[in-house]
Chain A
């Protein structure tokens, strides 16, 4: 069965303290892995798409990487405005399989 698991469920960091969020997946085939950011009261906002193992993408303080079994979202020197829930989704066919998300809190 296709499955996506995100860890940790929640992460509290001090401003400037770098860390990584994990998205592990078990799917029959990978047509894309997506990272989204969701702020309270808003819809998920697209961040990155990764298509093949070894691929990396960066945007400001965020860097996403992909292996055959998992993806990491690395956050470098985070700021309070990076606080949000980060969602991962995997596309094995036409549908997206969503993880439950990691709630990231950055304390000033």
Chain B
């Protein structure tokens, strides 16, 4: 399996612009997670899906953030409008189950908002 695939790897945008991050989870994994990583706060869970349905979005910082999972092989995280404080590395991860299985991460999207 190719693992979790994220695109783009890097994104540089200006404040106020819309940003869309994309993720393809590992085939057969029922759970998909979006995380954000910064030096100050470490890894933070933003939202997770089970069978394409959003289960917990309490980590989404503001209404400017939204996530969708239209099918089992694709998810997006959108920021509109973007702000400089959104600069971070965003990871997508998938998991077979919530018990007895590890989380598998993609290589992330490094977002810089100027």
The answer to whether B105 touches A45 (Cβ under 8 A) is yes
Interface size on B, as a range, is 10 to 19
The answer to whether A98 touches B42 (Cβ under 8 A) is yes
Interface size on A, as a range, is 10 to 19
C-alpha spacing A7/B90, complex, angstroms: 25
The answer to whether A96 touches B107 (Cβ under 8 A) is no
Q: Is the interface of A mostly helix, strand, loop or mixed?
A: loop
The answer to whether B102 touches A100 (Cβ under 8 A) is no
User: In chain A between 46 and 97, which residues have their CB closer than 8 angstroms to a CB of chain B?
Assistant: 46, 49, 87, 89, 94-96
C-alpha spacing A44/B45, complex, angstroms: 14
Chain A interface residues (CB < 8 Å from chain B): 31-32, 34, 41-46, 49, 87, 89, 94-96, 98-101
Chain B interface residues (CB < 8 Å from chain A): 4, 42-43, 45, 56, 91, 93, 98-100, 102-108, 110
